[in-house]
Copies of this chain bind each other. A is one copy, B any other.
Amino acid sequence: MSRFLHSMIRTTDPEASIRFYCEGLGLKLIRQKDYPDAKFSLYFIGEDENGPMVELTHNHDDRTYSNGDQFGHLAYQVKNIYDTCEHLQNMGIQILRPPRDGRMAFIKDPNGISIELLQEGEALELKAPWNDMENNGSW
């Protein structure tokens, strides 16, 4: 049996990515490893030392990356999807698929990685302004 450790994603802006996952989603920067000679840094972000993480890889140059569609998204469960989406909006993060159904929302991280937010337990009661908010773009 294998044990899942992390999803690795490449970031061109570690500061923005750390803000997104930590301040935005409430996760913690568990550890950082800098390899100045090889010119890259790794940032491991999760709930705690032993749980699943995102590994952010930052190459110290100006290369850019592309998002394919074979990989879809990372999904996180949240305590209150309306509060989470309001908090993210207040940080300037666009809610691409608003939680009209009180259950599911989609956003993107600063590198265009699609993130699904799912309400813990039963869907919440429908609530303005979310219940009739339009989609924005794709996710």
Name A residues whose Cβ lies closer than 8 Å to a Cβ of B.
1-10, 25-27, 46-47, 51-55, 57, 65-79, 84, 111-113, 116-118, 120
Contact = CB atoms under 8 A, between A and B. Distances in A.
Contact of A76 (B3, B65, B78): B3
B118 A70 contact: no
A51 B69 CA distance: 25
Contacts of A6: 74-75
A69 to B, nearest CB: 5
A82 B1 CA distance: 14
A2 B55 CA distance: 16
A19 to B, nearest CB: 14
A70 B66 contact: yes
B2 A27 contact: yes
Nearest to A57: B72
A29 B75 CA distance: 18
Nearest to A66: B68
A105 to B, nearest CB: 12
Contact of A9 (B9, B10, B71): B71
A36 B130 CA distance: 29
A85 to B, nearest CB: 12
